[in-house]
Amino acid sequence: MENYFVTGSSGQIGSELISFLRKKFPQKRILALDIRPKFYQESDPDFIQVDLLNSSDLGKLFEIYKPVAVYHLAAILSAKGESNPLESWNLNMGTLLNILNFSVQFRVKQVFWPSSIAVHGPIPKIPYNIQQENLEPITSYGIAKLAGENWCHYFREHYNLDVRSIRFPGLISYKSKPGGGTTDYSVEIYSEALKSHKYTSYLQKNTLLPMMYMEDAIRSIVEIMGVPKDSLKSNLAYNIAGFSASPEDFEKSIQEFIPDFHLDYVHFDPRQSIADSWPNSILDEEARRDWNWRPRYDLNSTTREMMNHLKENLQESSLS
């Protein structure tokens, strides 16, 4: 049986990718790796608790399991990373280099690593960003992601390692909680709308940012990993677009379900400056051309999915 590694398996993307891969590839063993035990330790026989910065321990896992593919999702996200930028850099960059090195050493066939719109910078502030435009990040997270893109390119060129990468926008999911990103409000706003019919946004009402429903994000990972290597022409990570929305846009969309829902706004939050440095929207012609990427969810369909599923979750919790 072939083995896959999913690192950061307790995180927002990792927890959902694990479930998806196990359903899609029942003939493969999908091993969940994370430094945090959480619920996996007791309920998941294929969970392995490991510090990815510990080269000795990580190397032993590669030697024992010899994974065919690695999905490396462990990271400290943008807003959380600014509270300790050096720790953010060390974890984000150190774990990636360990994964890349061991993948070469143990002849891993494919590696997936997520980048972010955080690689883009504030000068100039323009509505749309194309693939290699305005790569001037201002956060430690964005700096690490851009450096990581270049390291992935280096390992492709020098070691023929098949590394594939996507720049994700803000991700929205009803299954998993956000993990300290600048766009976390786009998840929190739905649950608060159902609980109290109001939400206090830390971003100002007209702050337009790229967003994506998690189902599209998971599908994009599987799709890019499934196309022939020669089809992928981008030297760095691929931009992919879902939709763009501001807090005010979310408010109006939610009001279709909860008419009296309303937003308040804080006077200042440090996450605003991060959001202001990112593009309003993303152009993704390269992903559409090279691997036929197409999003399926816009803001309204995302809101419908979030509201319906969160209502079900609340009803189930009240009955338990």
What amino acid positions are annotated as catalytic residues? 141
* Token couple for 93: 């960059």
| CA–CA gap between residue 33 and residue 222 (Å, rounded) | 19
Cβ neighbours for 218, distance < 8 A, ≥ 6 positions apart: 13, 16, 17, 20
CA dihedral angle for residue 130, residue 275, residue 298, residue 258, rounded to 10 degrees? -170
Query: Exposed (0-12), middle (13-18) or buried (19+): which is 268, by Cβ within 10 Å?
Result: exposed
| CA–CA gap between residue 149 and residue 153 (Å, rounded) | 6
Task: Report the Cα–Cα distance between both ends of the chain, in Å, rounded.
Answer: 38
| CA–CA gap between residue 311 and residue 302 (Å, rounded) | 14
Do strands 262-265 and 198-201 pair parallel, antiparallel, or not at all (unpaired)? parallel
* Token couple for 40: 């996996």
Helices (H), 106-237: 140-159, 185-196, 214-226
DSSP string, 62-75: HHHH--SEEEE---
155 and 163 Cβ atoms separated by less than 8 Å: yes
